[in-house]
Amino acid sequence: MEQLKFNSGIESLCGASYAIEIPLKNLFFVIFEVILSVFRERSDFMALNLKRKWIYFYGKIVRAEGTPVYIARGWALGMFIGCVIPMSIQLMISIPLSFLLRCSKIGATLGTFITNPASVLFIYPAQCWIGNKIIGGDLTWEATKQATRDLIKLDVSGFMELGGDLVASFFTGGFLFALICTPVTYFGVYYLVLRYRRIKAALKAKHS
């Protein structure tokens, strides 16, 4: 039976990473289990205040298993998906892509949290308004805010029925945000991981 070897996707929604072999036919169930774990994680995350959110993210970044490139690539993927893809289907895209691109599953998951039920109230209107201006549209700020209130509540089919101008504005603005945020996320995470590991190695050497 054909098998796929990878770092477990549940890769430490608690911390450790284990190399395992899973039959390809079971990969769907692994991804589904990761998505369920992420929804529980997202609920816990939303209950934190701003300072604790930063501490939470920092811990997840620097204590992750894998090379700095592997970790940074996952977080950059999550950021890209978070900017470009509607919130309701982000995890269905980011998690499978993290397996294909061989990057951090936890990063590809938590990186999408740039758009969460609180932040999209501000991000989506700005994203659609900027995108509309880029494509030469005439939506006002007030009209954009009203339209995105409906957008936040919709599933994929409802999203595609919003109208060509708003959908085009959403993706145009999203790609612009992703163009800025994705490389910043990659190099920022890469730096944080390297810095943490150097400090940890120096402290270990000092006390050995």
Using DSSP's 3-state secondary structure scheme, residue 201 falls into: helix
* Dihedral-angle region of residue 142 (phi above 0 means left; psi in -120 to 50 means alpha; beta otherwise): alpha
Residue in 17, 106, 71 with CA at minimum distance from that of residue 197: 71
The predicted structure's pLDDT at residue 154 = 55
Check pLDDT > 50 for residue 1: no
HEC string of 37-64 equals: HHHHHHHHHHCCCHHHHHHHHHHHHHCC
Give the number of other Cβ atoms within 10 Å of residue 118's Cβ. 9
Residue 48 — pLDDT band, cuts 50, 70, 90? low
**Looking at per-residue confidence, does 33 or 111 come out higher?**
111
Which sign, positive or negative, has the C-alpha torsion 36, 57, 72, 194?
A: negative
The predicted structure's pLDDT at residue 9 = 40
Segment 108-158, tens digit of pLDDT: 988 998 888 888 888 988 999 999 999 998 888 887 877 777 666 655 555
The predicted structure's pLDDT at residue 158 = 57
Q: Cα-flanking dihedrals φ and ψ of residue 135, to 5°?
A: -85, 5
What is the average pLDDT across 57-75? 88
What is the average pLDDT across 165-188? 93
Alpha carbons 138 and 133: distance in angstroms, whole number: 7
Check pLDDT > 60 for residue 68: yes
Tokens at residue 159, please? 């999203």
pTM beyond 0.85: the answer is no
Check pLDDT > 80 for residue 171: yes
